[in-house]
Amino acid sequence: NVFDFSLGNPDLDPPVAVSDAIEELAKCRDKNFHGYMPNAGYPFAREAMAKKTALEQGVDVSGDCVVMSVGAAGALNALLKAVLNPGDNVVVPSPFFAEYRHYVQNYGGKLIEVPVKDDFSLDTKALEASLTEKTAAVLINSPNNPTGKVYLDEDIKALSEALVRHGKKTGRKPYLICDEPYRAITYDGIKVAPVFPVYDCAVVVTSFAKNFSLPGERIGYIAVNPRCPDKDELVAACVFTTRILGYVNAPGLMQRVVAKTWNAEADYSLYEKRRNELVSILDEAGIVHANPQGAFYLWCKVPGGDDDMAFCDYLKKHLILAAPGSGFGGRGWFRLAYCVSEKSILNSRNAFINAMKDFKA
Amino acid sequence: NVFDFSLGNPDLDPPVAVSDAIEELAKCRDKNFHGYMPNAGYPFAREAMAKKTALEQGVDVSGDCVVMSVGAAGALNALLKAVLNPGDNVVVPSPFFAEYRHYVQNYGGKLIEVPVKDDFSLDTKALEASLTEKTAAVLINSPNNPTGKVYLDEDIKALSEALVRHGKKTGRKPYLICDEPYRAITYDGIKVAPVFPVYDCAVVVTSFAKNFSLPGERIGYIAVNPRCPDKDELVAACVFTTRILGYVNAPGLMQRVVAKTWNAEADYSLYEKRRNELVSILDEAGIVHANPQGAFYLWCKVPGGDDDMAFCDYLKKHLILAAPGSGFGGRGWFRLAYCVSEKSILNSRNAFINAMKDFKA
């Protein structure tokens, strides 16, 4: 009877085509089917991801721009090790996915947090002001975890222009790393802005964890903008870091699965429905929250204070599990993951309403 | 028509029980079947690996001693990040698996190479002499890649005693890390010595890459000696580093496969047969080599010199691909991986004989 909104573990089934492909490919007993392949991944998998990236970004992409990875987290680690010198920093709009801090620190880097605007959109002026000669990359996440915000084309364009200006001024153009595991999960017809057409030193890291509900299988990739001046060196460096960090290669069977099914149709309307239901409950309970345009998180304000740890502890008494915002660089906020059953959401109504009633009392 | 002995990509088929399990488990469409699980891995998978470890080590092991990993390379990286402070060193008998140097350097450590004896057994006196207060771990690999040597019980015991002495003297007892992906692949009835009964701070890292021919699927684990004084802290640290290095968890489907099939019967006699065939060819050609007791490598002496790079280049002219020994810390040697078809081995006879004839001429 606990309402667990604490985990981002997708709860829709994988698309049928994906489950079919897993079943079908697992039958194969060809020689070396589960053997090593190049560290960058199967050439056919890289080609397929290049096609997907080309569709999403609206520019031609070839397989040699892609490195298959152990999920988006593995992709980010391989990429950050490739681009960071010790002492470098990575600028991130805040709130942000909590693990970024670790990933950057793993390679001697420092995360520089730049708060977003009140509507959770990018504060491009503040981002520009935070850039220094030590800035190896700006790391954005759209749709954002935890706010659900999708950054607009004009914000991406403004940020890109700022990065170009900074590069001209300092001689060091930061990479723009786009962490996009939630790209496909957007609502109300909103689309994630393509970055490759507006900024050459752009890199996408992503996975099939959230869109295909395969997070435990660790399959993702890195896609480098074909227009990136040091594209070949960067791809080679990512292949090398994939190897020496001990990933070695992305899981082979799953590479075959996503190569075959990357454009499988998936229906995220259930997430949208749950968002609407949870929003209506929060509104009724009087909890202020962001209006997510994608992913499956509701970013909520701690009522009458900023101690999110204490408030999440308090919510536990009402059997509601939430993630404190401080971990995401968002003190005074908390995150509800609505990748849970509709029944659980609907049943949580009284818990939220009572929790808020008692809290105010 | 190239005789490619350069890669350690196992060429036997996976055991039938393993292929059957992959096929069977891939059919399952249960809710959350491919979802996140605890970073340490499925509890049932940890339990199964504990059983396997208990059988191999001859001591009781419980599931909470095990962390599932993205192959043995992922296991080593998570473990080394957990145990290394910057400036620490890791002692390794040399020659050694070339990637160790990267894995140790990834976390600010330094690899200290200690040559093995002429028969490729451990030089425990030299190993003991190399220990300092900076020594976080000694890393052994049995059967060894590249020499194929299996370390004897008495050598492991002597090394353990040296580590205990060093620990008493300095207050810092190094971990003994046993990298054992080839444990099952031994010949002539030789068994890999158990380490847990003789040394408490011992950790096994391994995978199902070589014994089950699944290297591309990235499934392995870390098993900590239940008698290790800081067992719980070390396991917790490995779970944490698995998470923050972006592995997140070992691939889920493959965790299920090995949990079900870890004790599947496998027949390595084909590797032994190929070893014998290649040995007979090398002997006929006059190439001096180690007598491997396990794994699938022949460690060979460069004839009349020590420039292994040049000699491997020379062998290419005779269509033989070999790995230069320098990468393994073994200048003057080269490695032949005989995980290739019997036909290819038999057909390489003339190439080896001609290469040596021309070389001497």
d(CA B335, CA B339): 12
Residue B222: is its pLDDT beyond 90?
Answer: yes
The answer to whether the Cβ–Cβ distance between B14 and A22 falls below 8 Å is no
Average pLDDT of the segment spanning A101-117: 98
The answer to whether residues A60 and A227 touch, using CB atoms and an 8 Å cutoff, is no
Instruction: Give the burial class of A14: count Cβ atoms within 10 A of its Cβ; 0-12 exposed, 13-18 middle, 19 or more buried.
Output: buried
What is the C-alpha to C-alpha distance for residues A257 and A255, in angstroms, rounded to an integer?
5
C-alpha span between B163 and B199 (Å, rounded)? 8
Q: Is the CATH number of domain A3-12+267-360 3.90.1150.10?
A: yes
Q: Do B246 and A22 touch (CB under 8 A)?
A: no
Q: Do B251 and A251 touch (CB under 8 A)?
A: yes
Residue A20: closest C-alpha in chain B: B27
- Distance in angstroms (rounded) separating the CA atoms of residues B251 and A314: 36
Cβ burial A152-166 (10 Å sphere, 16+ → b, else e): eeebbbbbbebbeeb
CA distances from A12 to A23, A71, A105, A208, B30 (A): 18, 18, 33, 13, 11
Looking at chain B from residue 281 to 320, which residues have their Cβ under 8 Å from any Cβ of chain A? none
Predicted confidence at residue A332, as pLDDT, reads 98
Q: Which of B31, B214, B218 sits opposite A248 (nearest CB)?
A: B218
Confidence bin at A301 (pLDDT 50/70/90):
very high
Residues B45, B255 contacting (CB under 8 angstroms): yes
Q: How far apart are CA A215 and CA A9, in angstroms?
A: 7
Whether the predicted pLDDT of A354 surpasses 90: yes
User: Tell me, what's the pLDDT at B178?
Assistant: 98
* Upper half-sphere CA count for residue B177 (Cβ side, 13 Å): 30
What stretches of A84-195 show up as alpha helix (H) in DSSP?
100-105, 124-130, 153-170
Tokens at residue A234, please? 């960067």
Instruction: Please name which of B196, B76, B221, B202 lies closest in space to residue B145, comparing C-alpha atoms.
Output: B76
Name the one residue in this structure whose structure tokens are 């994906």: A18
- Is A216 in the B-facing interface, judged by CB distances under 8 Å? yes
Please give the backbone phi and psi of residue A207, each rounded to the nearest 5 degrees, phi first: -150, 175
Residue A215 per-residue DSSP state: G
pLDDT at residue A325, as a whole number: 98
Residue B1: pLDDT band (50, 70, 90) is confident
Cα torsion A120, A126, A128, A134: sign: negative
Q: CATH 3.40.640.10 residue ranges in chain B?
A: 16-261
List strand residue ranges (DSSP E) for B57-109, in order: 66-69, 89-94
Instruction: Name the segment(s) of chain A with CATH classification 3.90.1150.10.
Output: 3-12+267-360
- Cα nearest neighbour of A37 on chain B: B216
Contact A217 B13 (CB under 8 A): no
Question: Looking at the complex, does the CB of residue A344 fall below 8 Å from at least one CB of chain B?
Answer: no
Output the pLDDT for position B360: 83
Residue of B248, B254, B344 to mutate when probing chain A, most A C-beta within 10 A? B248
- Mutation for testing the A interface, residue in B70, B145, B210, B214 having most A CBs under 10 Å: B70
Q: Please state, as a whole number, how many other Cβ atoms lie within 10 Å of the Cβ of residue A184.
A: 17
A118-146: pLDDT as tens digits: 999 999 999 999 999 999 999 999 999 99
Maximum Cα–Cα distance across chain B? 69
Give the pLDDT mean for A274-297. 97
CATH entry, A16-261, from 3.40.50.800, 1.10.10.10, 3.30.365.10, 3.40.640.10: 3.40.640.10
pLDDT above 70 as % of chain B: 100
Query: Any CB–CB contact under 8 A between A247 and chain B?
Result: yes
Q: Which residues contact B333 (CB under 8 A, 6 or more apart)?
A: B95, B146, B299, B300, B301, B302, B308, B325
Pairwise CB contact (< 8 Å): B246 & A27: no
pLDDT tens per residue, range B57-78: 999 999 999 999 999 999 999 9
Coil, helix or strand for A174? coil
DSSP secondary structure of B98-143: TTHHHHHHTTT-EEEEEEPPTTS---HHHHHHH--TTEEEEEEESS
Does the structure show a pLDDT above 90 at A361? no
Contacts of B61 (CB under 8 A, 6+ apart): B50, B51, B53, B54, B196, B223, B226
DSSP designation for B334? E
* CA A173/CA A161 separation, integer angstroms: 11
- B73 to chain A, minimum CA–CA distance in Å? 4
Determine contact: B13 vs chain A, CB below 8 A.
Answer: yes
pLDDT of A61 > 90? The answer is yes
Token pair 């040091």 is at which residue? A230
Whether the per-residue pLDDT at A100 is higher than 90: the answer is yes
Residues of B in contact with A211 (CB under 8 A): none
CA distance B45 to A270: 32
Pairwise CA distance, residues B114 & B96, whole Å: 10
C-alpha–C-alpha distance, residues B232 and B225, integer Å: 10
User: What are B34's two structure tokens?
Assistant: 């491919």
Question: What single letter denotes the amino acid at residue B328?
Answer: F
Q: How confident is the model at residue A71 (pLDDT cuts 50, 70, 90)?
A: very high
Q: What is the DSSP letter of B186?
A: B
Neighboring chain A residues of B32 at a CB cutoff of 8 Å: 9, 11
> Closest Cα of chain B to A281: distance in Å?
26
Angle separating helix axes B231-244 and B71-83, nearest 10 degrees: 120
Judging contacts by C-beta atoms under 8 Å, the chain A residues touching residue B217 are 34, 251-253
What is this model's ipTM? 0.97
Q: Pick from B162, B220, B169, B186: which is nearest to B293 by CA?
A: B186
A344: distance to nearest CA of chain B, Å? 15
For A58, the token pair is 């609206």
> Do B36 and A9 lie within an 8 Å CB cutoff?
yes
What is the average pLDDT value for chain A, to the nearest integer?
97
| B258 contact partners, CB below 8 Å, separation of at least 6 | B45, B48, B49, B208, B212, B219
With an 8 Å Cβ cutoff, is A26 touching chain B? yes
The pairing of strands A66-69 and A220-224 is: antiparallel
Predicted pLDDT at B165: 98
- pLDDT at position A241: 98
Cα–Cα distance measured from residue A96 to residue A184, given in angstroms and rounded to the nearest whole number: 19
CA–CA dist A254, A220 (Å, integer) = 9
Residues of B in contact with A36 (CB under 8 A): 7, 9, 215-216
A7: Cβ contacts below 8 Å, ≥ 6 apart: A337, A339, B36
pLDDT value at residue B48? 98
CA angle B130–B134–B140, rounded 5-degree value: 55
Question: Is pLDDT of B125 > 90?
Answer: yes
Per-residue pLDDT of B263-291, as tens digits, reads 999 999 999 999 999 999 999 999 999 99
- The answer to whether the CB of B23 falls within 8 A of the CB of B14 is no
Q: Minimal Cα distance from B16: which residue of A? A: A29
Q: Is the separation of the CB atoms in A322 and A315 below 8 Å?
A: yes
Is some CB atom of chain B closer than 8 A to the CB atom of A13?
yes
